[in-house]
Structure 1
Amino acid sequence: MLPLLLLSLLSKSAALNLTVSSSGGNTSSTLQYGLLFEDIYHSGDGGLYGEMIRNRAFQGSSVDGVVSLDRTTDFWTEVGGVTLSVDTETTPLSSSLPAQLRMEVPEDTTTAVGFYNDGFWGFDVDASQRYIASMYVYGNYTGDVTCYFYSTTSDTILGSTTISLDQTESDGWVQTYSPTFYPTTTASNANNTFYFVFEDGAQLAGESLYFNVLSVFKQTYNNRANGLRTDMAEAVAALGTKYIRLPGGNNMEGLYAPYYWKWNETLGSLTERPGRPGTWGDYNTDGFGLIEMMLMADDMGLEVILGVWAGLYLDGTVVAEADLQPYVDSVMDELEFLLGDSSTTYGAQREALGYGAFTINYIEIGNEDYLNGGTTSYDDYRFTAFYDAIHATYPDISLISTINPSPVTTDGSPVDLHLYGDADYFVTLFNAFDQASRSYPVFVNEYAATNTGSNSASQIGAQTLSMACAEAVFLLGCERNSDVVVGSAYGALIKNYNEAPDTVAVIKQTASEVLYSMSFYVQQLFAANMGSSTLPVTATDGELAPVYWSATTNTSHTILKLVNYDGETGADSAVSVTLEGSSADTATLISFSAPEADSINNLAALGGETSSVTTTALQGEAGVFTVEFSSAYEILILVA
């Protein structure tokens, strides 16, 4: 907890005078700040999803960032002279997972044999956390399999457990788990591998064993089976946002037919999830499936905006009107699965998996359906086909269009706008919604300042302070119009630092670290200080820019947000704030800033966080307060 510092600024002059009315604003959306989840650059597999083994089921591969259907032994390395290969001739584990790892053992083997996995750029090994390993095996072996973490930095074993096997080929595929175990040593970094070693190599001499769904999980968020990586989930929950759009983004659409996101292929046993080529360069296992996403939303208290595929692939292929009905039917089946009771076919299927009904109040039909020539078909028939079917059965669910205006133009028909650009562009959006029709709600379910100033070149690697302040100016505009702007969500929630160092995201991660960007703290602070209605603000002795503002109120406080975007600092540029109808002599002042406009937050080894959040007690008199900026780029939140 940061100390509260008592500041008295009443005696200082003000360059800008703001008077905040005590009433007269509009009722604000209860959502306002949200999240977008899509598996982009290992935000699911290798990110939020707790599985630590990479290429666990030999489903597909990636070469130079291009996803492939080729099945490989990538990320696996032999131990003891064995030969590893992908086998498709042996009896498969399931029809969904028709390929398996074959380990051929040399005839003259007398020592231990096996293999190890590289993980997603390594493994986090923490002696305070429990782990469990498992695998499916086909073949003949009776004996122990030693499973252990190995540090390539110190060349030492960091912790181990044992899987005991006693099976023959006639037993078919058998899944076996290790006991849960705690590593003996916490690793100094992520440069670690995980081994599966068969101690009685002589027993296997000249033979082959087959493996699938080789798995390692660390203790998960809320101890969910097949759950989330704890530190990543805690970071997402710490944002304090109100909703999540899932499984949104381009990854839902699929690169080409037939690989859109299919809800029914992400359910149940991992052996029944075939996965698919992901949009962002790697194969998706779909271990983090529909149920896991809904449970995450429940655990974090997030409203769900459910994305459903609407017949457009990213290569421009569009499902013809005459062929669309099966896809509409699939969405209706999905909704019955999520919402139906045990008397329904798919509700009963959900209950058989052990889950009660979920809640869905919003559905987004498609994603960016203007891409690659999709606009005409979306307007002509695709949106309406899904809209009519869903609305007829679930009239209370709000149905969101991905094209503006919505093909359905009745009052209350919402649209989703996606906004990207440089920092200066986002500042121009402060007034973007002031004249918007109040009949058509707006979500901005993807936004991001992707570069500094008016630089529209390729993305910068990490959000600078100036970029985050530009996004904050835009969010002020959304908040001022929160009667029509229902909510906003940053364009990429999570990316793996190793894979995407040159693109922006709210959170980036390695196997053992979580990086909170500048934009993370902007969203966290705005979501934590959200009013239930807006308040008019009158400016005198000064004008808009380079200082921007928004005022709201809740049942107990007035909240004034101020953003300095390349403005002056100090007493000569102070802001005088008058809160009409208030007799408060003390307010809370929250500041977010960093040393320089180009300051970024980075991994600990690369400089760590440069941003800071300070909370101070500000002294005033009868509802009048004076606020100073200490940085040309700074966010101040006054709560009184």
Structure 2
Amino acid sequence: MYIREWLFGVLFFPSVMGCQNMSQITEEVVVNLRQKGADISSSMYGVFFEEINHAGDGGLYAELVQNRSFEEDEIPEGYRIEGTKLIPLAKPYHLTGEIRERSFEWYGGKIRGWNLKTGDLSEASMRLTKERPMYPTAPNNLELFIQKTTGAVQLVNEGYWGMGIRQNERYHLRTIVRVDPGYKGTLTAKLLSEKGDILARALLPCIPDGEWHDMTLVLTSVATDCKSSLAIEFDAPGKVWLDYVSLFPENTFKKRQNGLRKDVAEMVAGLQPAFFRWPGGCVVEGITLNNRFEWKKTLGDPAARPGEYSTWGYRCSYGFGYYEMLQFCEDIGAKAMYVCNVGLSCQFRMGEASEKSDISYYIDDCLDAIEYALGDTLTEWGARRAADGHPAPFPLQYIEIGNENWGDEYDRRFDMFYQAIKQKYPQLTLIYNEMPERNGPMGITKTDMVDPHYYVAPEFFFRNTDLFDHYERGKHTVYVGEYSCNRGVGGGNMWAALSEAAFIGGMERNGDLVKMASYAPLLENRNNRKWPTNLIWFDSEQVVGRGSYYVQKMAVENRPTYNVANDKVLRATDTASYVSGHIGFGSWATAVEFKDFKWVSKGHRVDVPLGETTRNYGSWSYTDGVLSQTSLETGTQYILKGFKDNDYTLECKARRVSGKEGFLIYFGMTANGQDGYMYNIGGWDNQKAVLQQVANSNRAKVLAECQDVRVETGRWYDLKLVVSPRKSELYVDGNLVLSHVPEPVPLQFVDSGYDEHAGELVLKVVNATDSVYPVSFRIDGARRVAPEGKVITLAAGSGAEENSFENPRKIYPVTSGYGDFGRDFTYTFRPFSYTVLRIKAERDVSGLNNEQ
């Protein structure tokens, strides 16, 4: 998962969504049960987990103490702090050799998570030390020096924005303490309410011998308070060292030790995930390789786990580790997916590559992870699993090789990983990162699945429900590993949910190709939103599912066995136009030059400053009227700052200096270069010209193309782009090569499938307009259709509505009976709704000799 700069407006959408007079004429849809389509895989719906938004620490993981091992102020090796910024180790980006300038959020000031409170006349101080650590793998400990006391001195931890303590619940406290012989007082553990009232208290054994002691006790709260804190109290002068302070509710999910927060885990389990992807996301790769997630360090005693800065502005404790993930998969009946590092750090950050001689280390590390999950107890890592408490194998089925990697080096490494893993574990499904876009043949020998990602505006999902209709079949299947509508939808409103429902319908319809999908990100602590939209929200007291959560849940609970045909035609009643956007230039694995620029806007010549950009990716320079890009990177961009329009003509000359393709001209672009359109002259290995929609920096859909358009090295070409609100045209050397008329966005969708187990026709209908949507259905190919059935409706008063902590079920599915189904029936769907109709219907399969 990657993040750059977020767009808070959506292409075309304001005019489409603002339409108040959508036609209410009854549409006729014929569903034919005899025309069986693709099966829908039982593995279709799973979940993606990454330590982001405090999804694990302070979320799914039940630990209540923040910075329990005092490791959170430890910076990655070679990094440095400048104010509130973490500056990474300088490493060359492996695709270009450049040293990228990057900085990341850093907590500054006091020891994270801990406060020292003294009485008016008491004096005490604290500091971090690595002296005499209990565990060398987690060396930091906290030294308390109490100079004098006239009252108690308290070391207080408020957890993650308050501890959610509940009345009569038992909490297990574990402390690793070393007490100097000169300390003659007591140690008291207290749970305190937000107002300071004592909810529970107990004396800790105090052994003043200067040695580490690992102690546990149980605290039972007398009241409920979601903003509670834990205090360790000292009442005498002297020195005390703390190596580890942990507080867990006894009532974790499935009562597991070092377990998961029950309500959050139940919310995840409510999605009935067929698989669970872990550990990410960008944390897999790290900012640099010495900052990557390391699964072996997540095993064993939580007090000995070092944790790691997670790339999202805080340290991951490694508490929700590999063992805990595999155990959770077993508990909820999900297959595990492990994402391994291929010796590349995050390519959206520093993009470091390991030495080629070190690749075998990363392959062995992945094989060890597989052996830990699946190996016999006579193997090294199978024996370690048994020693950790689980002799039987875990349900590991999928290995994703790398995370959001691309380029020739990734492809080479993928082949090495694929061969090594398949040779030893042929039963596993191996997954290739289809990043950053689908642009011609992949440079790998073979893969089982590919993983494209889609973070987009609602318009993209509504417009691209047919995206997978055009994918190549036969070489591999598809896992849509990360997708969500997260642009211009607030924290995640009904428009977002409905667009995802429409896109899900397209994935199900292509079930022969798309076998798996997972929304991302999964979890968000409301106090730490690092990503604009997330599926499940929580704080110390509450868990809230967004409208998108309930779309996912409805899709899972109403997954047909296979598709059946319907004749719904996608159309919209409104018109569409290009929005006013930025223009830009680019290249793909090619060094290029542009010159002799001329702009005419609304009939008037305009001057555009060529040296000012809103997005500059590649190696660009503008000298003596020539704009040059000298690198062989893919997807370079030079988005101009001083021109934004949707009615103009651009003329210029362009030539290829070196490389294998041609030129890119962007128009209608957002300032960050992530959304808009791109004319590609000499694309697809210099075979053709295409117009592509750009969404979330992905060239996701070809809107027009012309074959046999090639670019010669060294030759200057005359290019002319003519843009109006209703049309765009591209001319090369005076010849019209491509043109495009923007189409309106369809907002009403009908998907149909059959549930063999229940003997039911399943209709899934999206109505993303502000008017009711009456549909007259005719069911063909049925022996019998029962009048009684079930309707599940998720609806909102407007597309902008969201769930909230104050109103968590504002958008919530309602199930009701319905008694007027039949071979012919009419149903009127509510505005802004996702509706599932379940109809008892016996398929007529007489005469069908060759069902798919």
The TM-score normalised by the length of structure 1 is 0.89
User: Displacement, 1:70?
Assistant: 8.5
Residues 598-637 of structure 1: pairs in structure 2 closer than 5 A: 598-604=800-806, 607-620=807-820, 622-631=822-831, 633-637=832-836
1:104 to 127, 145, 151: 145
Cα distance change on mapping 1:257 and 1:402 into 2, 3 Å = same
SS at structure 2 position matched to 1:469: helix
Q: Which residue of 1 aligns with 2:662?
A: none
Residues 1:238 and 2:270 aligned together: yes
Q: Which residue of 2 aligns with 1:9?
A: none
Q: Which residue of 1 aligns with 2:220?
A: 182
User: Displacement, 1:434?
Assistant: 1.1
The 8 Å contact of residues 125 and 146 in structure 2, kept in 1 or not, is answered as no
Residues 1:639 and 2:830 aligned together: no
Residues 1:565 and 2:761 aligned together: no
1:292 to 324, 330, 333: 324
Structure exhibiting the larger radius of gyration computed from Cα positions: 2
Identity among equivalent positions (%) equals 28
Unaligned runs of 5+ in 1: 1-11, 453-459
CA distance in 1, matches of 2:393, 2:184: 44
Tell me the amino acid that sits aligned with residue 748 of structure 2: V
Which piece of structure 1 moves more, 618-627 or 264-273?
618-627
Q: Which residue of 2 aligns with 1:19?
A: 31
Residues 511-590 of structure 1: pairs in structure 2 closer than 5 A: 511-539=540-568, 545-555=746-756, 556-566=759-769, 568-569=771-772, 573-578=774-779, 580-581=781-782, 582-590=784-792
The 8 Å contact of residues 461 and 501 in structure 1, kept in 2 or not, is answered as no
Residues 1:121 and 2:161 aligned together: yes
SS at structure 2 position matched to 1:48: coil
Cα distance change on mapping 1:540 and 1:98 into 2, 3 Å = closer
Tell me the amino acid that sits aligned with residue 753 of structure 2: T
CA distance in 2, matches of 1:346, 1:608: 44
CA distance in 1, matches of 2:109, 2:570: 68
The 8 Å contact of residues 383 and 407 in structure 1, kept in 2 or not, is answered as no
User: Displacement, 1:304?
Assistant: 1.5
The 8 Å contact of residues 432 and 450 in structure 2, kept in 1 or not, is answered as yes
Q: Which residue of 2 aligns with 1:36?
A: 48
CA distance in 1, matches of 2:455, 2:25: 38
Which piece of structure 1 moves more, 488-497 or 578-587?
578-587
User: Displacement, 1:252?
Assistant: 1.2
Tell me the amino acid that sits aligned with residue 102 of structure 1: E
CA distance in 1, matches of 2:379, 2:38: 42
The 8 Å contact of residues 406 and 415 in structure 1, kept in 2 or not, is answered as no
Cα distance change on mapping 1:614 and 1:89 into 2, 3 Å = closer
User: Cα deviation per residue 1:494-536 (whole Å; 9 max; x = unaligned)?
Assistant: 0111111871000111111112111100000000000121111
Residues 9-158 of structure 1: pairs in structure 2 closer than 5 A: 14-61=26-73, 63=84, 66=104, 73-80=111-118, 81-106=122-147, 108-140=148-180, 144-152=186-194, 154-157=195-198
User: Displacement, 1:161?
Assistant: 3.1
**Which structure carries more strand by proportion?**
2
Cα distance change on mapping 1:142 and 1:481 into 2, 3 Å = farther
User: Cα deviation per residue 1:286-312 (whole Å; 9 max; x = unaligned)?
Assistant: 011000011111111111121111111
Q: Which residue of 2 aligns with 1:282?
A: 314
1:194 to 213, 227, 230: 230
User: Displacement, 1:491?
Assistant: 1.5
The 8 Å contact of residues 465 and 600 in structure 1, kept in 2 or not, is answered as yes
The 8 Å contact of residues 168 and 223 in structure 2, kept in 1 or not, is answered as no
Tell me the amino acid that sits aligned with residue 447 of structure 1: Y
Tell me the amino acid that sits aligned with residue 366 of structure 2: V
User: Displacement, 1:72?
Assistant: 5.5
Cα distance change on mapping 1:430 and 1:324 into 2, 3 Å = same
**Which structure carries more helix by proportion?**
1
Q: Per chain length, whose mean CA-contact separation is higher, i.e. which structure has more relative contact order (CA < 8 Å, sep 6+)? A: 1
User: Cα deviation per residue 1:229-266 (whole Å; 9 max; x = unaligned)?
Assistant: 11110111112222111112111111113121111100
CA distance in 2, matches of 1:329, 1:71: 40
CA distance in 2, matches of 1:621, 1:337: 53
SS at structure 2 position matched to 1:21: strand
The 8 Å contact of residues 568 and 749 in structure 2, kept in 1 or not, is answered as no
Which piece of structure 1 moves more, 349-358 or 54-63?
54-63
SS at structure 1 position matched to 2:469: coil
Residues 1:303 and 2:335 aligned together: yes
The 8 Å contact of residues 142 and 167 in structure 1, kept in 2 or not, is answered as no
The 8 Å contact of residues 457 and 487 in structure 2, kept in 1 or not, is answered as yes
User: Displacement, 1:142?
Assistant: 7.1
Residues 1:258 and 2:287 aligned together: no
Cα distance change on mapping 1:276 and 1:502 into 2, 3 Å = closer
Residues 287-366 of structure 1: pairs in structure 2 closer than 5 A: 287-314=319-346, 315-355=350-390, 356-366=392-402
User: Displacement, 1:576?
Assistant: 2.4
The 8 Å contact of residues 58 and 99 in structure 1, kept in 2 or not, is answered as yes
SS at structure 1 position matched to 2:556: helix
1:481 to 507, 510, 516: 510
The 8 Å contact of residues 227 and 540 in structure 2, kept in 1 or not, is answered as no
